[in-house]
Amino acid sequence: MIEYQDVATAIQRERGEAVVVTAMTQSKFWKEASDRPELDIPTNNSMGKVSSIALGIALGAPDRKVIALDGDGSLIMNMGSLVTVGNKSPKNFVHVVYDNGVYAITGGQPIAGAGVIDWPAIAMGSGYKAAYSFEDTEEMATEMPRIMAEDGPILIRIQVKPVITTNLGVIQTWESNAVMPRQMRSVKVELAKS
């Protein structure tokens, strides 16, 4: 199993100017690793919508790479988005699925299909161009540069070690509700510069 920090480090190295849209536990670890916070959109208060938001940005800004850091529980809530991504087939779309087998930030309840769901198979069956799976940190770190340079849409499933806590700094409050729209405006400003 791979640690969240190691995934964030491997992706951060390759992110360049990419817009990064995050869900749940990933939002915390990505925030700690990101060197371009103005291009980051955490979506914790709209569970399941990472892939749809990232797809919209990828279609609207086809020359900009967009990386979706999705949760397995979140993606189960929006499985149809995989087919929409496959159908629109944006070259600039990278979909990373953090497979921890649980709803971590609500206390660690197992997701439906934990240990059974085959994310790369579902992605390929939905029309993605390529899909990968990593359970080993070194292999992931070695392969990431090559994979991130490929044309999308691609899916990367990463088996991560669950961090089960309801105190990850991603709880939902009126204040936290303001973060996603604020970051969307920030990304819009950044994209307008290019």
Ligand X SMILES: Cc1ncc(C[n+]2csc(CCOP(=O)(O)OP(=O)(O)O)c2C)c(N)n1
Binding site for ligand X (CB under 6 A): 23-25, 47, 71-74, 100, 102-106
- Closest to ligand X by CB, 61 vs 160, is 160
In the bound complex, what is the minimum distance in angstroms from residue 74's beta carbon to ligand X? 3
Of the pair 72, 92, the CB lying nearest ligand X is at: 72
Q: How far is the CB of 78 from ligand X (least distance, A)?
A: 10
Q: What is the 3-state secondary structure (H, E, C) of the chain?
A: CECHHHHHHHHHHHCCCCEEEECHHHHHHHHHHCCCHHHEEECCCCCCCHHHHHHHHHHHCCCCCEEEEEEHHHHHCCCHHHHHHHHHCCCCEEEEEEECCEEHHHCCEECCCCCCCCHHHHHHHCCCCEEEEECCHHHHHHHHHHHHCCCCCEEEEEEECCCCCCCCCCCCCHHHHCHHHHHHHHHHHHHHHC
Residue whose CB is less far from ligand X, 8 or 105: 105
Cβ-closest position to ligand X:
71
Question: CB of 111: closest distance to ligand X in angstroms?
Answer: 6
Q: Crossing angle, helix 24-33 and helix 4-14, to 10 degrees?
A: 60
Nearer to ligand X, 112 or 149 (CB): 112
Name the minimum Å distance from CB 86 to ligand X.
21
Which lies closer to ligand X via its Cβ, residue 116 or residue 192?
116
Q: 115 burial class (0-12, 13-18, 19+ CB within 10 angstroms)? A: exposed
As measured in angstroms, the least distance from the Cβ of 7 to ligand X is 12
